[in-house]
Amino acid sequence: MSVSASQSAPVHRSRYVLRPVSLPETWNQFVSAHPRGHLLQSWQWGELKATSGWSPVRLALYDEDRIVAAAQVLRRTVPHVPLRVGHLAYIPKGPVIDWSNDALCTTFLGALHDYLKQQGALALDIEVGVETDDVECALIRERLKTLQAVR
């Protein structure tokens, strides 16, 4: 796995590559077509949040040239703490991923964690966007617990 200080540096994990998405059409096409896509993961939502102090970063996991998972991460500096110390990261109603695919979840969440840590994130808040009585809720919690235990 290689991680560079560059904002656009890809993070490699097995056959997948995590890299930023710079085209709104590419981003919105994936988010709108995915069953877990949500308005708060749309390009436009990130741009709206940018007007109130958040900095959106759109990260996608690619399998060759196809996006298989994605997360719009909103970053913000900690109040009264200089930017060089780090920032807070927040994923509203995401990531956009097939939570039933264990290998994909492990790869994406691990690469996302590595990328954000390398970029100076002090904390990551993931607001998955499922109701607590949703059938997938327990599965998603287990995926996130496993990641937390490994990190």
Kindly report the CATH number assigned to the domain that includes residue 92: 3.40.630.30
What is the model's pLDDT at position 132? Answer: 61
- Among the residue ranges 1-5, 21-25, 48-52, the one predicted with the least confidence is 1-5
- Measured CA to CA, the distance from residue 2 to residue 75 in angstroms comes to 22
Q: Tell me, yes or no, whether 15 lies in a domain.
A: yes
What is the model's pLDDT at position 79? Answer: 74
What is the model's pLDDT at position 15? Answer: 85
Provide the number of structural domains found in the chain.
1
With a CB cutoff of 8 Å and minimum separation 6, the contacts of 34 are: 70, 96
Q: Tell me, yes or no, whether 4 lies in a domain.
A: no
Domain that holds residue 60: 11-150
Q: Tell me, yes or no, whether 109 lies in a domain.
A: yes
- Count of CB atoms situated within 10 Å of the CB of 23: 10
- Count of CB atoms situated within 10 Å of the CB of 90: 19
Q: Tell me, yes or no, whether 3 lies in a domain.
A: no
Q: Tell me, yes or no, whether 129 lies in a domain.
A: yes
Q: Residue written as tokens 């994909």?
A: 104
What letter would DSSP give residue 96? Answer: B
- Count of CB atoms situated within 10 Å of the CB of 87: 20
Is pLDDT of 72 > 90? yes
Q: Tell me, yes or no, whether 2 lies in a domain.
A: no
Which whole-number Å values give the CA distances from 142 to 36, 83, 97, in the listed order? 18, 33, 15
